[in-house]
Amino acid sequence: MDQAKSRKVDKGSPFLRPPKLSREAFKALIEQRGWRMADVACRWSIRPEHLSRIAADEDRDLKWDDLVRSLPTLSAFERSCVTAARLSIIPPKPRRRKGQPIGEPVQSVDAEAAGAAVQPDPPFKWEHGDEEDEDEAFVPGVDGFRYRSYLSRGSELVVVQEIDGFAREHAILVVTATRVGVDPAGGAQEEYLCESATGDQRWIAPDQIDDWLVSNGKMRDLR
């Protein structure tokens, strides 16, 4: 290969094989554009938990980095409008019992009982043609349980946005327990008791995971 052609190859290679975004940079770019993780997942026709796994995988396909870089920047008002539109497309299912205050913890139940209490409606059909299995659409009515298959006792979570008074950015939290709770709209959701390195604990809801945390795929033995 002559010197001129070699220079062209050296110049062009970074456009075809650029460095991958770190998990922190991937999620930070979404936040800088003014988006919530759940809204990005809706835009891309994938589940929020799948987007969380994509963000955590630094060996992800380059197309995801290109997609996140191409997100339009939203104002605070536009962000609220996008979230409202998502909730209109995929409305949460109210499941709060009469007389139960919002935010009141629900007694722990086993997986079968919880599954029976929150039966999914038929899957929402996106009008995007055939999708790969990993890119399944949301299922209305089980949005609050979107992390159930991916997070359990011992799961590690990386803080990608500082949680005021609890954890700094880049800190590692560990899920020590789960419970069934109630979201602000009255729907059922699974909540996660997360412990910091200092031993502080806080219950964290799925929407907060969307904004603050990303799984690193690691598990700790809590026996």
Residue 139 clears pLDDT 90, i.e. is over it: no
How many angstroms separate the CA atoms of 181 and 102, rounded?
9
**pLDDT (tens digit per residue) in 86-108:** 888 877 654 444 444 444 444 44
pLDDT in tens, 28-79: 899 899 998 888 988 998 887 788 888 888 889 999 999 999 999 999 889 8
Helix (H), strand (E) at residue 203: strand 201-204
Instruction: Say what the pLDDT of residue 93 is.
Output: 53
Reply yes or no on whether the pLDDT at 116 is more than 70: no
How does the average pLDDT of the chain come out, rounded? 78
Q: Out of 87-96, 129-138, 141-150, pick the least confident.
A: 129-138
- Please name every residue paired with 89 in a beta bridge, in sequence order, or none if there are none: none
HEC string for 148-188: CCCCCCCEEEEECCCECCCECCCCEEEEEEEEEEECCCCCE
Count the neighbouring beta carbons within 10 Å of the beta carbon of residue 63.
Answer: 8
How confident is the model at residue 46, as a pLDDT?
87
Q: CA 101, CA 123: separation in Å to the nearest integer?
A: 29
3-state helix, strand, coil in the chain (%, to 5): 35, 15, 45
